[in-house]
Each structure stands twice: as C-alpha cells, then as structure tokens.
Amino acid sequence: MAEKVLTARFDVTDSHRLEGYRADGGYKALEKALAMKPEEVIEEVKKSGLRGRGGAGFPAGVKWSFVPKESEKPKYLCVNADEGEPGTFKDRYIMELDPHALIEGSAIAAYAFGSHAAYVYVRGEFKLPIARLEGALAEARKAGFIGKNIFDSDYDFEMWVQPGAGAYVCGEETALIESNEGHRGMPRLKPPFPAVVGLFGGPTVVNNVETLAYVPHIINRGAEWFASLGPEKNGGTKLFGVSGHVTKPGLYELPMGTPLREIIYDVCGGIREGHELKAVIPGGSSTPVLTPDEIDVNMDFDSLAKIGSMFGSGAIIVMDETTCMVRVIARLAKFYAHESCGQCTPCREGVPWIHKILERIEAGGGREGDIELLSDICDNIQGNTICPLGDACAMPVRGFIAKFKPEFEAHIKQGKCPIGPIPNPWNNH
Amino acid sequence: MNDMSEQKITLQAATNAAIDEIVTHYPVKEAALLPVLHKVQDDIGWLPLAAMDWVAERLDLPKVRVYGVTSFYTMFRREKLGRHRVEICTNISCSLMGAEHLRDHLSRKLGIRPGQTTADGRITLSEVECLGSCGTAPVMLVDDEFHENLDPVKVEKILADLEARDKEAGNNG
C-alpha cells in the first residue's frame, strides 16, 4: 500500500483538534522552519518538486521566490480554498479533518517569502470546513503557533478565514484577491502578477490548500523523500477525487503518476456492475475528456499534458456507456455560462451561446454546421479573455467533439439523442 | 426591490460583536464586506435593501457598492425565500448518479418547480451548481447542511424530518 501523507491522520478520533495534532508531531516543522533562513525553506520546497495542486501545477517554491524581498507594502498569503471545479472535493476534507496541517503549512510558506498575514478564502457553502478551520485557528492562536514572536523567533504571523459567497470564478487567483478585498470577483489583467501587486496592493502568493498541507511534511522529512514519492518533476502524493460510475467513488491519496487504469479498476473497484467504461474526465470539468484506450496514462502534470489533456485538480469523473456525451458537455457548458463573470465579451457571449447550441443538439434540434460553429466559437474565446474561465469551457467542448464526434453527428442526423434519457437508478422504487 | 426598503434592521448583539471583530482582520474596512454580509444574512435570513444599506453605513461604503457585490454572489439572497432552503446539485458528478431524477422527485413531493417556494412559505427548492461533494453524489444542501449519497427514500425522510421539526416548533404555517 502506498504511503499516506495528507490523509494519514484522517481516521484519527478528533483529528481536527490541536491536542492530537501535536501528539503526532504537529508544529515541529514550523519550529524547524523558523530556525532556517527563509531562502533555505524556499530551496527545500523547490527541491521537493511540489507543484501547485489547484490545477495549474506551478512549482510552489518557484512561486514563492518571485515575491520581491523588499516591499514597502505588506506581503500576503492567500490560501485558495474556493474548491469549485466540478468533480473536485479534496480541500474540504483537509480543512475538516486536519486543519492544523493547513495552518502550519501556511505559516511556513508565509515565513519563507516574508509575509505575516494569510487569508483562507473558503467557498461559502463549506460551513463545516469553515467552523473547523476557525476552531483550529483559535487553538493555534492560544497555543502561540500563530500570533507574535512564534517559537521565540521574532516572527509574527496571523491568519483568518475569508468566506466566499458562491462564485466559481473566485477560484482564479486575481478574482480571489478582488473578492478578498470586498469586490465583485472579477479577474484582473496580468501583469502585474500577484507576486508583485496582489492583495491590498502588496506582493501576494495564492496557493491551494492541498499544496500548503504538504509543506510541513517536506520540512520534517526532507525534499528528497517527497520527490521520491512521485515521478520526476512531479513530487509527492496527490489527493484524487473519483466520482461517477465507479464501484467505490471517493477520495484517495496515491503517488503522483499512478496510472489512471489502476485508479479506476484497482483502487475504485472498476465500473459499476454490468456496465463498461465510456469516457473519463481526468482532472476536473475543465480538462479534456479521455477515451477508454487512453487510460494507461500516468496521472501527473506532464503525462497528461503529453496526451493533450490536463492533470488539473486530480478530480477524476468516470462515465459508463449509459452516458450521453452531448448531454454531459451541455451540462458543463450551462455551468460555465452561469459562472462567467461577464467582464470579457468572448466569454460572456460565447459560453452561453455554446450552451444553447449544445442543448439544442441534445434536444433533437441540431443542424448541419453546428459542430463547425461550436469550434469557431471556441476559437474566438480561447486566448481572448482576461482569465481562463472561457478557456475552461472551450477546452472540454473541443475535447468532447474531438473524441466523440460520431455521437454529436448522430444527434444532428437523427434529430434526437441516440443514447436516450438519463437512466433512473431507482427505477424499482 | 422589496417591501422593507424603508425599514431599519435590528441585529442581535452577537452579530454586532462578530462584525466588530471581523473588521479588525483587514487593513481596510471594505475588505470585510463579504463576511459582514454573511453575518447579517445569517441573522435576519436574507438581505433586504435596509440590510444592505446598514452594511454600507457600517463599512463606510457607497450603497451601490454593496448592492453590486451582493448581486454578484449567488449565496446572497436579495429576496425572502421559504423558511427552509432545499438546494440540489445537478452538476456533472451528481447528474451521473441520478440527481435530475431526485430533483423531479422533490418537485413532485413539494408540488413546486426549482426556483419556487411552497404556498405555505415553508420550503424553497432550487437547483444549484457543484457543491464540492462529488464523491458522495448525489448531494443537496438543506439550510446550509450537506446531505450526501442521496436516494429517493433518504430525500423523503429529510423532508419528513423537516416537517416534524417545524410542527414541534409550532411554526408550520
């Protein structure tokens, strides 16, 4: 069985409380890091190969090193706990079951790039994770792990929870910063990048919850150990959220680079009984879909990029033969249309247009030329907007059409959905 | 916008104290806008114009800024809904596990469509986007509480429990 890092404490009674966290060695990494030079902490994390677990996969230590050493304005850490990418459900478990790991990782990260304040931007629906995190912050503050002069190091650090309010776009780092400042969550033009001008105008790092939760382990056990858990340039383990038509959906911690086939068939027990695999979305709803002959891919950033998809957040959505591909991508387009912030015309107009066309095809009103039209709209969205939300719709639309074109054509030709309505799993009820 | 525009709101002491504390988290007061709107909404159940105006005054912001922010985020309710909110996710992972059938089942049981409130003002049903609970799909929120791995039997039990609680509290309309 592969080594558990982040989930090792998930089954412990009251795993969210400070007492148990300390008994398991909690906050020793922070003490160790505070005795190191900030540059040494950054170097260690760079060497570990830790890449951002929010979706983009940018090396965490490199991101921290972009923050200017000298700054007139205070520097900030924004923890991205907005977890909104359909299929993704990992950060909530870290906050619910091991919130001190996130606090400790955040304090180490902030120390490394010279920040004294962090905000955890948690999606507003996550009432329990928010409560657990606030409880843990109160415990840590009382015990002196956050506050003034931590471990007599002269280092001060504060951390607060910032609740979101139901806007997917706020998972994009500059929209998150806008929202954290009390504005509508509309992404900013880059440059300037947040590392230079971010929250309240100060240099800012935005890191995903899972990314930061690995940091104490890297400091405790060393970069080499972490790097050795995964393939080259893809260090560590990963929380994979598997949903859809597998026998055992759920959250699994596995080494980076675990083959997708192994995850679906060995870890998750294969496709639900009596059915067969039709398609897999490998990394959350924005990542291009894979067909059954592509599942021997290793689940890491570079391997998925090589076959034209993306690792994303490691959210694996499995679909069997009862699933209509047009219906699925139409539903996803509806989501992106709902979540477009409206700032850029190509996204605001193009994404709802894509949704309308896909719904029409699914409803039997498909016309010749629709597939080309969809591709043309995608062309006019991709690369023409401030943030990647429009691309996040266009990429899977292209992917579904490329991999399942005959199914789209059959809808248009037959004037109906050849797969039929979504089966009712409770038909005998 | 609503019939409370001329009224003043009154918040519980605990809400006011929480807001006073929240404001200390930031170098500028306006950054407290989202958490303060949450606190006010949790207290009075929704955000009538009078509540948004109160927040604007509390944070020294133009009213229009508060209206603009409130309308951007789906969790802020600018209309009074039913006493209970039943919000079912129909995004991809929930849909694959039959969420649309559950939505229709809820509609039949409650006699309303998503977006509507029962005639007695008890329950508002809505269809929502991904709730980040895809491994335990299908999922719905009832008054902010997650209910996972749903099926029609569980859904009916949740509705029955809600009704029993309301009857006990003596406010079943």
Summarize pLDDT for B42-83 with one digit per residue, the tens: 999 999 999 999 999 999 999 999 999 999 999 999 999 999
Show Cβ contacts of residue A150 under 8 Å, excluding neighbours closer than 6 positions: A30, A34, A107, A144, A156, A157
B132 within 8 A of A83, measured Cβ to Cβ: yes
Residue of A nearest to B103 (CA): A424
What integer best gives the mean pLDDT of chain B?
A: 94
- Cβ atoms of A256 and A237 within 8 Å: the answer is yes
Which tens digits make up the pLDDT trace of B109-140?
999 999 999 999 999 999 999 999 999 999 99
Interface of A with B in 269-328 (CB under 8 A): 281, 285, 315, 317, 319, 323, 328
Beta bridge partners of B84: B123
Over residues A269-305, the pLDDT tens digits come to: 999 999 999 999 999 999 999 999 999 999 999 999 9
Convert the pLDDT of each residue in A70-126 to its tens digit.
999 999 999 999 999 999 999 999 999 999 999 999 999 999 999 999 999 999 999
Name the burial class of residue A298, with classes exposed (0-12), middle (13-18) and buried (19+) by CB atoms within 10 angstroms of its CB: buried
Q: How many CB atoms lie within 10 A of CB A368?
A: 10
**Cβ B152–A422 below 8 Å, yes or no?**
no
Per-residue model confidence (pLDDT) at position A379? 97
Q: In what order do the strands lie in the sheet with B140-142?
A: B123-128, B84-89, B140-142, B145-147
pLDDT band at A427 (very low <50, low <70, confident <90, very high): confident
Q: Which two tokens stand for residue B117?
A: 């409130």
Nearest to A162 among B30, B35, B131 (CB): B35
> Is A167 within 8 Å of B54 (Cβ atoms)?
no
Taking CB atoms and an 8 Å cutoff, what residues of chain B touch A339? Answer: 129
Which of these, A356, A161, A195, A21, lies nearest to B26 by C-alpha position? A161
Nearest Cα to A250, choosing from B136, B94, B12? B136
Nearest to B135 among A83, A243, A422 (CB): A243
Q: How many CB pairs under 8 A join A and B?
A: 155
Q: Is pLDDT at B2 greater than 60 in this prediction? A: no
Q: pTM for this one? A: 0.96
> Cα torsion for B39, B45, B46, B49, to the nearest 10°?
-90
pLDDT at residue B6 is higher than 80: no
pLDDT of residue B8: 86
Kindly list the distances between the CA atom of residue A98 and the CA atoms of A6, A164, B75, in Å, as whole numbers in the listed order.
Answer: 8, 21, 26
Average pLDDT, chain A: 97
Among partner residues A85, A183, A323, which is closest to B69 by beta-carbon distance?
A: A183
More confident residue, A209 or B5: A209
CB contact under 8 A, B98 and A335: no
Residue B7 pLDDT class (50, 70, 90 cuts):
confident
Q: Closest chain B residue to A90 measured between Cα atoms? A: B132
Mean pLDDT of A298-322: 97
Residues of chain B with C-beta less than 8 angstroms from the C-beta of A123: 132
Q: Is the pLDDT of residue A2 over 80?
A: no
User: Residue B1's pLDDT band (boundaries 50, 70, 90)?
Assistant: very low
Please name the residues between 167 and 226 in chain A that touch chain B, using a CB distance below 8 Å. Answer: 167-168, 179-185, 200
* pLDDT score recorded for residue A367: 97
pLDDT band, very low/low/confident/very high, at B171 (cuts 50, 70, 90): low
Percent of chain A with pLDDT over 90: 98
Q: Is the pLDDT of residue B5 over 80?
A: no
Tell me the percentage of chain B whose pLDDT exceeds 70.
Answer: 95
Range A23-44 average pLDDT: 98
Q: Confidence class of residue A421 from pLDDT cuts 50, 70 and 90?
A: confident
Q: How far is Cα A407 from Cα A411, in angstroms, rounded to an integer?
A: 6
Is A228's pLDDT higher than 80? yes
The DSSP secondary-structure symbol of A131 reads H
The whole-number pLDDT of residue B47 equals 98
Question: Contacts by A345-353 with C-beta closer than 8 Å and gap 24+?
Answer: A346/A380, A346/A381, A346/A384, A346/A385, A346/A390, A347/A381, A347/A385, A347/A389, A347/A390, A347/A393, A350/A377, A350/A378, A350/A380, A350/A381, A350/A390, A350/A394, A351/A381, A351/A389, A351/A390, A351/A393, A353/A377
CA atoms within 13 A on the CB side of A411: 27
The pLDDT value given to residue A428: 58
Name the 3-class secondary structure at A195: coil
Residue B173 confidence class, pLDDT cut points 50, 70, 90: very low
